[in-house]
Amino acid sequence: MTGTTTDTLEHQASLEATLKGEILRMYEEVATQPEGDFHFFTGREAAELFDYDPALLDRAPPEAIASFAGVGNPHLRSRLEKGQTVLDLGSGAGLDGIIAAWQVGPSGAVIGIDLNPAMCERARANAGASGTQLQCREGRMEDIPVEDDSVDVAISNGVINLSFQKRKVIRELFRVLKPGGRISITDIVSAKQLSQNIVNDPKLWAS
């Protein structure tokens, strides 16, 4: 391995560590200060913009809605059924997981994955307030803490774009899916190559 290659890998590892810290800080702020001034849509305004069913939003705990910071609506094409097991990758304060739990019913299961253990605590609390059961496991999307072939449907909302290793994330999703399983994700995609200044800016990655 050349010195240049080693330097590149070390730089990426350092940037990834910085990014992880910025992501934790940013979304902790969204959860604890949802009325704050962010340069992306949050709360009910965002959910309604992305065509979430107003009846479901009326039914959901206010805390789960206030901390919502998605970029779309994975439920529009998830086609969830009673009894299914759902993985919510990057579950945050739990709104998408709660909606999924209503759809799969008591005979189904929803497993949330979040990098921040505090967010998992909020998701569990919000699920309890909604009358649903939601598992939440702390973990990285590049190494999903879920067994092979155990998930019927994986959903995700504005999370995969935060990873430096997107191919690994997709491989992990396919690993945990049962044969015939489905993925329903919404995310941010750039149609052109990003400048190095953007790539090297953790605040832009995290937002």
**Which tokens go with 132?**
């649903």
Give the domain range for residue 61: 3-206
Q: Per DSSP, what are the bridge partners of residue 2?
A: none
Tens-place pLDDT, residues 87-129: 999 999 999 999 999 999 999 999 999 988 888 999 999 999 9
Tens-place pLDDT, residues 51-69: 999 999 999 999 999 989 8
Please, which pLDDT band fits residue 195 given cuts at 50, 70 and 90?
confident
- What mean pLDDT is reported for the chain? 86
How far is residue 158's CA from residue 187's CA, in Å, rounded to a whole number?
Answer: 4
C-alpha distances in Å from residue 19, one per residue of 13, 23, 130, 203:
10, 6, 32, 8
Q: Could you tell me the pTM of the whole model? A: 0.83
> 11 in helix, strand or coil?
helix
* CATH value at residue 50: 3.40.50.150
> What's residue 37's pLDDT?
63
Instruction: Flag the least confident range among 22-26, 34-38, 169-173.
Output: 34-38
Domain count, the chain: 1
CB 128 within 8 A of CB 105: no
Please, which pLDDT band fits residue 166 given cuts at 50, 70 and 90?
very high
How many CB atoms neighbour CB 133 within 10 A?
14
**Which tokens go with 24?**
């934790």
How far is residue 155's CA from residue 118's CA, in Å, rounded to a whole number?
Answer: 21
**Distance of alpha carbon 120 from its chain centroid, rounded?**
11
